Amino acid sequence: MPHSAHEKKRVLTRVRRIKGQADALERALEAGVDCGTVLQQIAAIRGAVNGLMSEVLEAHVREEFGQAARSDAQREARVVELTSLVRSYLK
């Protein structure tokens, strides 16, 4: 989760934009819009979600991994956490 007020505002703006895109997609599907247009909207939403994920992941990495680990166990736990985050992001 972004911790600064500026980062939080940017993330919330992205979420609201995604919500608007999803609402537009729902309206397009209800209206029976052409498949090509629907696919473009879905691709735009996917890109927006990927951008959001990237921004939150970057903030998390900076916040959690920017300081030195206090012990080998903490370092190992951080490596496991970061590896898990990257794996889930790349799916």
Residue 79 has pLDDT above 70, yes or no: yes
Neighbouring CB atoms inside 10 A of 7's CB total 17
Query: Do you know the residue count of the chain?
Result: 91
pLDDT, one tens digit per residue, over 42-67 is 999 999 999 998 888 888 887 777 77
pLDDT at 74: 84
The residues spanned by each domain of the chain are 5-89
pLDDT at 61: 81
pLDDT band at 1 (very low <50, low <70, confident <90, very high): low
CA distances to 16, 39, 45 from 42, rounded to whole Å, are 16, 5, 5
pLDDT at 4: 80
CATH topology classification for 5-89: Methane Monooxygenase Hydroxylase; Chain G, domain 1 (1.20.58)
pLDDT at 69: 74
Residue 90 has pLDDT above 80, yes or no: no
pTM as predicted: 0.77
